[in-house]
Structure 1
Amino acid sequence: MFAEERQQKIAELVAGSGRVTVNLLAERFSITTETVRRDLATLETAGTVRRVHGGAVAADRFSTIEESITDRTVQRPGQKMRIADAALALIPPAKSGSILLDGGSTTEALADLLSRRTAAAPSGSVAAPELVVITNAVPIAARLASTPGIALQLLGGRVRGLTQAAVGQATVDAAHRMRPDIAFIGTNGIHADFGLSTPDPEEAAVKAAFVHSARRIVVLADSSKLDAETLVQFASLKDLDTLITDSEPSAELTAALTEAGVDVVIV
């Protein structure tokens, strides 16, 4: 295979998966790691990929890039709905309790499923306990505000237009005063070394408060977030209990998750 043809195939792999490793490419094309690095250098010069430690990512995958919640909601809807459905199974349908829903498109899908399940449940006693749902996300609050059987608590703060989620010290302080049973957390990246990350420092501070407040941490992350690093870390893998995703993580990330004792659910 000519170098140009191989480099084109490497570019296609990066475009399809978002990230490739040097070792994977060396094995796939039966070439040395030195040859892989030369190919990646050529592709980076051409603006096709961006080299990172141990491999390469898509050229547009920068640590500060953050799409709006409106744009993210229409991306990978099937994968996100499967992840949300698996997350819903972790919320007992016939028991009271408390959960926290972080802002994000996948947690918003979970809120939609939870609302439909709760509304469809047979009505019981007037004094029956409700499920307490805590969130800092305006779209999630709007979806659950009128749902029977749910006691909604909306955390205050400055609402970021990009994510439509409350951030700031008031939000962080409110999170620290609570101890929900389960926190369902979204992330922009989950990486073997860097852990969970998001581009915005204020969002990261709120997410970190959520992680340290809840009894159980469940991360909802579609495969585009796997092996990704963004600007600000808000949790390590050891802080997590469960990861729900739609694709098998890379060997490196799988090993790190196993070492951290994280239960991985693939839907």
Structure 2
Amino acid sequence: MLTDERYSLILTILKEKGIAKTQDLMNALNCSESTIRRDLEYLDKIGKLKRIHGGAKRMYHLHEELSNQEKSLKNIQEKTLIGKYAASLIEKNDCIFLDAGTTTLAMIDFIDNGDITIVTNGILHASLLADRNIQSVLIGGKIKASTKAIVGATSLSQLKDYRFSKAFIGINGIDVEFGCTTPDPEEAAIKSLILKQSALTFALADETKWNKVNFVKVCNIEDVTIISNEIKDSNHLFREKTTILEAKE
């Protein structure tokens, strides 16, 4: 096996498992301990992994949050596909929480059931819902300028009084080891509370969110039903830990 092939396989194993023992890598790559040690030493030196006693662990980088305007220009087709699928899950008499975010925003054009109530912390969401004459509530609180989300103590206090049949939240990163994460602690607090207040919670995430880690953990991946446009074969561990609804045309 070529050196570059070994490097690729080692990093793939760490991507899936988070941590790997030297012996397990030897078995997987069918090579000697000295070869694995040299490979780990090199990959550690260039910042691809972290060597630990008896093996290695995956390195990850925290991802910065884009503004709402920047997000709206990315993966438009995928978000539309996910939004359409998610909207089809809404039923008559549902009480819905619709999280701020561009993927949840894509749901609104496809909501065709008028006998529902939607609570949202998204300013843009509330405006579009009002345009479509959908009964909705915009919670109060502090406005986060970059994402047009309402957050803070006031919004948390108000949401504690509500119960939802379904909730649709946005997630910035999904990772087997670190779960569902988002960059902002105040937005994470909203999402975490919603998990407790809703009978069913769906996390909307296009394929670019997989194997990414952000600053604040919202929940474990088994705590939500993930709606995604694509799951790569290398991410089979996600399938074992949660229910994946692959949105299709």
Closer/same/farther in 2, CA of residues 23 and 133 from structure 1, 3 Å limit: closer
Read off the aligned partner of 1:41 and give its amino acid letter: D
Read off the aligned partner of 1:81 and give its amino acid letter: T
Spell out, residue by residue over 1:88-121, the C-alpha distance to the aligned partner (whole angstroms, 9 max, x if none). Answer: 12113xx22211111111101112322xx45xxx
Closer/same/farther in 2, CA of residues 82 and 36 from structure 1, 3 Å limit: farther
Secondary structure (helix, strand or coil) at the match of 1:265 reads strand
Mapping for residues 110-121 of structure 1, pairs under 5 Å: 110-114=107-111, 117=112
Secondary structure (helix, strand or coil) at the match of 2:217 reads strand
**Identical-residue share of aligned pairs (%):** 26
Mapping for residues 145-156 of structure 1, pairs under 5 Å: 145-148=130-133, 150-156=134-140
Closer/same/farther in 2, CA of residues 43 and 154 from structure 1, 3 Å limit: same
Secondary structure (helix, strand or coil) at the match of 1:253 reads helix
Q: In terms of mean alpha carbon deviation, does 26-35 or 186-195 score higher?
A: 26-35
Match of 1:122 in 2: none
Secondary structure (helix, strand or coil) at the match of 2:201 reads strand
Secondary structure (helix, strand or coil) at the match of 1:156 reads coil
Quote the offset at 1:51 in angstroms.
Answer: 6.1
Across the two proteins, how many residue pairs are aligned to each other? Answer: 227
Match of 1:246 in 2: 229
Aligned CA-pair RMSD: 3.0
Quote the offset at 1:235 in angstroms.
Answer: 1.6
Closer/same/farther in 2, CA of residues 141 and 29 from structure 1, 3 Å limit: farther
Match of 2:20 in 1: none
Match of 2:14 in 1: 22
| Whole-angstrom distance in 1 between the partners of 2:245 and 2:199 | 19
| Whole-angstrom distance in 2 between the partners of 1:195 and 1:23 | 13
Q: Is the 8 A contact 2:49 2:57 kept in 1?
A: no
Quote the offset at 1:251 in angstroms.
Answer: 2.8
Quote the offset at 1:252 in angstroms.
Answer: 3.0
Give the unaligned 5+ runs of structure 2: 17-24
Match of 1:69 in 2: 68
| Whole-angstrom distance in 2 between the partners of 1:69 and 1:28 | 43
Matched, 1:163 2:138: no
Mapping for residues 1-267 of structure 1, pairs under 5 Å: 6=4, 20-22=12-14, 34=37, 36-44=39-47, 54-57=57-60, 61-63=61-63, 65-92=64-91, 95-114=92-111, 117=112, 130-148=115-133, 150-240=134-224, 242-248=225-231, 250-255=235-240, 257=241, 262-267=242-247
Read off the aligned partner of 2:85 and give its amino acid letter: A
Quote the offset at 1:23 in angstroms.
Answer: 7.2
Read off the aligned partner of 1:222 and give its amino acid letter: D
| Whole-angstrom distance in 1 between the partners of 2:200 and 2:36 | 41
Give the unaligned 5+ runs of structure 1: 14-18, 119-128
Quote the offset at 1:247 in angstroms.
Answer: 2.0
